[in-house]
Structures are given as C-alpha cells and as structure tokens.
Structure 1
C-alpha cells in the first residue's frame, strides 16, 4: 500500500496515511483539523517550503497580489480547481507582497503565475489569468494524466 505524506496547513505537521484513504476526509494527527479541504491554502514562506519539500503530493501554487486585477479575476477559478484537483494535487496561494522572498526565489516577473511542483522541484510554469477548466487541464497534462 502506498503511503502519502500530507502537510497540515494549520500546524504544519506531516501526516502519513495510505493514499487510498485521501478521499476519506483525513484529519491531522496533531491538531485534529481537516488535512484536505478542497480549497487553496494561503501559504507564507515556511508553509510553502513545508508543502513543497515535505509533502508527497504535487503542489500547484498561485503567485498573486491583492492589487492585481487579473489575480482577483482568477481567484474563484483557482478555488474551484482546488475542489476538483484535491487530493491528487495540493493548491496553495502565495501573496507576493507578503512573501517577496518566494517571488524572488522563483523569479516571478508577472502575476498571476502558476507553478507546479512535484518531488520538491518546479515541473511547470504558466503566467496569466486562467479559467477553472484550463487550470485543471493544464495541471493534469503537466502531471502526465489525461484530462477528465
């Protein structure tokens, strides 16, 4: 049985559980909060690093800013994509104004920018506002899956 490592967005504990149980609404063994909510996680630098480096799920990150019109337009689509992509992929949002170190680390030049991470490494990147179907299709194709 394959084991998944899921990072709790609340307490940042790494939880190990069978992949077959990911859709069963698992809760954190430390704090008791739901591990997968079907919504993007707001990530600061520490949580971002924990999600990308310690979790076994691929992580799709939306680099955005509150003053960005296209970012605001894409936000509902990104949230809807999270509901459909979890537990296959974890979705996170990084506010580039609150985490400029991450924006610099990944050379974010325009926003919104989506970066897909797997195994702790960047595997794909795309800039510009996208709709829900495009986010889902692009993510699945970058992970080598057929769109559903």
Structure 2
C-alpha cells in the first residue's frame, strides 16, 4: 500500500507483512502515523487524497463554527484510534477556499472520505462519536 508522509508528503510503500504503526518515511525518516489529523492544504492535498492508497477522511471546518469546534475532539480521537487503517485530515475552509470551492462545500462541518482520489462518501454536519466511527468503518 502506498502512503504519503504527513511531514514531507513523500510517497512510501508499506509492506503488508510489517506493522504499519511503527513505519517511517524513507525520505525524511519521520513516523508515517502520528495519531493526529493532518492540516491539509492545496500544497499537500493531492499527495494524501489522490496519490496515496490509504483511505483519507477529511473534515472541512472553520474556526468560527461552533459545531466544528465541538466535533474536533471526536475527529482527533478517531485519528488516534483508527490510524493506520485510515488517514485523517482537516481543511480550514477560510484558509483553503480553493479546496472548499473544488468540493462544493456549502455547509460546515462537512466530512468526506476519499479513496485513491475519489470521494466515496460525504456527510454534512457533525456526528456523535459512535455514529462517526460507524460511518468511517463502513468504508474500510
């Protein structure tokens, strides 16, 4: 499986017979999985959403959004608990307006799940923890 490094965005091949949680980037030697959501931008989005084979769960959010703020701890906890089966990333719609427009974001938070560059699931609004985990896990 091809995984993008959260630090340098370099692509790495993960062997199926080794534990992924301890894997390091071949380029920058940092851990490939930190257990924290990535800050996705126009510069690093393609590496994680299109080039990597690991499913990517994206939270489109804004700092002024109350539901976004209340959902943030659930999203962070999911990154800690569900990596390395999924990669989790956040896109600040105020700072990354081009990405928000590209995916036609009309309300926030909006959750999207990408597999190899394609949106396979979309959910508008914050979800309770159990419902969010169930939604994510149904796309393994």
Distance in 2 of aligned mates of 1:82 and 1:72: 16
Runs of 4+ residues over 3 Å off in structure 1: none
Identify the residue that residue 67 of structure 1 maps to in structure 2.
Answer: 64
Residues 60 and 22 (structure 1), Cα distance of their counterparts in 2 relative to 1, 3 Å cut: farther
Q: Match for residue 39 of structure 1?
A: 36
Tell me which residue corresponds to 1:116: 113
Residue deviations 1:33-71 (CA, integer Å, cap 9, x gap): 111111111111121111011111110000001111110
Structure 1 unaligned blocks of 5 or more: none
1:4-43 mapped onto 2 (5 Å cutoff) = 4-43=1-40
What TM-score do the two structures reach when normalised by structure 1?
0.89
Structure 2: gaps of 5 or more residues: none
Cα offset, 1:25, TM superposition: 1.1
How many aligned positions are there? 140
Q: 1:115/1:22 Cα in 2 relative to 1: closer, same or farther (>3 Å)?
A: farther
If the length of structure 2 is used for normalisation, what is the TM-score?
Answer: 0.94
> Cα offset for 1:22?
4.2
Contact 2:14-2:20 at 8 Å conserved across structures: no
Q: RMSD of aligned C-alpha atoms?
A: 1.2
